[in-house]
Amino acid sequence: MVLGLSGGIACYKTAELCRALVKAGASVQVVMTEAAEHFMTAVTLQALSGRPVYTSQWDAREANNMAHINLSREADALVVAPASADFMAKLLHGRADDLLSLMCLARPLDSVPLIVAPAMNREMWANPATQRNVAQLKADGVHVLDVGQGDQACGETGDGRMLEADEILEDLQAFFTPPVLRGRHVLVTAGPTYEAIDPVRGITNLSSGKMGFAIARAARMAGAQVSLVAGPVSLPTPRGVQRVAVRSAQEMLQAVQAQVDSVDVFIACAAVADWRPAASADQKIKKDGTGQTPQLHFVENPDILATVAQSPRAQSGALYCVGFAAESHDLLAHATAKRARKQVPLLVGNIGPSTFGQDDNALLLVDAQGATELPRASKLDLADDLIAEIARRR
């Protein structure tokens, strides 16, 4: 991958992006404009990429003196981050007066995508000329990333910031992921639910939400529109995913029912509490010194997965339902029984105590034909595998 830098204070973010790309397994060749060298040294990016940095079209290291041809032919993609307003205008008009713009113009259009991450002052971003340029670049086949919003180096606040390194990395990963769920709407539930006993106590479980959030991320990567109904967890919302925050099982059911009629796939990954207190005290239940314990009465929570799976759309096949089973033992037996009881085509089982709060997991996929194991791996990788499996079955 060629990582190009045009001039802008956001070059400092590109150093972190370069490091993240290398860590993700990419081979990164950095190319800088003269303006970029005023904000970041080539030495820094050489250290981070592990490759010599190119800054001039007259670089004598190339035997044929054609770095703009050689480097662009070797690349799987050309990413310009930051892409200044001036550089995007240059791209639009096909100007090629430095190595980076030469490479953008000379790249093979069919095999080397051009991806730009804009970065500029909010007024520059909002200027009609810039917006016209962005629209035309997109029409020309250039993939223009979004801009961020917030404090800017000039002291102003607004749109125009370059995305953070992790956001750009995620967008690049999504760009190269096969869009097997393009045009589909996926609804995911994740995390625990919390059932209040009084204003300061409640019943919950150890689910961290990491698996469900990873699934939502993977579905978005695969091109789907993704809605995420999440219990009380502190995880950041996956990029490009619409999140609805809930606490109790009843709130989760309401949030699911508000969207489920418009989705194509429902993945019930949340660890929903089976019971809740019949009544929640308005004030904290206090000890009175007598040793007597409060009497709590429980009622069963609604079964969200079964409710959706038994709906007419699910029964007709218009809605594909996937359930999860977090067990402590006898996973195959319990998951098989739960799949039949819930009437879902696919049930995903795991051993809860060995995965709650962890970054890895092992899954068992149970359907009408039997069971398939997905060996222990990171939750991100397992989520990718599961989404690919759902797309194949759907």
Percentage of the chain exceeding pLDDT 90: 86
Q: Give residues with Cβ within 8 angstroms of 296, minimum separation 6.
A: 197, 277
* Range name among 52-56, 126-130, 150-154, 163-167 with the lowest pLDDT average: 150-154
Torsion of CA 41, 43, 45, 47, to 10 degrees: -160
pLDDT in tens, 261-304: 999 999 999 999 999 999 999 999 988 888 888 889 999 999 99
| DSSP 3-state of 201 | strand
Confidence bin at 74 (pLDDT 50/70/90): confident
Percentage of the chain exceeding pLDDT 70: 100
Catalytic residues: 154
Give the pLDDT score at 57: 87
pLDDT in tens, 111-142: 999 999 999 999 999 999 999 999 999 999 99
Strand partners, 298: 277
The structural domains of the chain, ordered by start, are 2-176 (3.40.50.1950), 185-277+298-393 (3.40.50.10300)
Give the whole-angstrom CA distance, residue 54 versus residue 37. Answer: 11
pTM, two decimals, is 0.89
Give the whole-angstrom CA distance, residue 246 versus residue 263. Answer: 19
Instruction: Kindly tell me the burial class for residue 164, based on how many C-beta atoms sit within 10 Å of its own C-beta (0-12, 13-18, 19 or more).
Output: middle
Mean pLDDT over each residue of the chain, to the nearest integer: 94
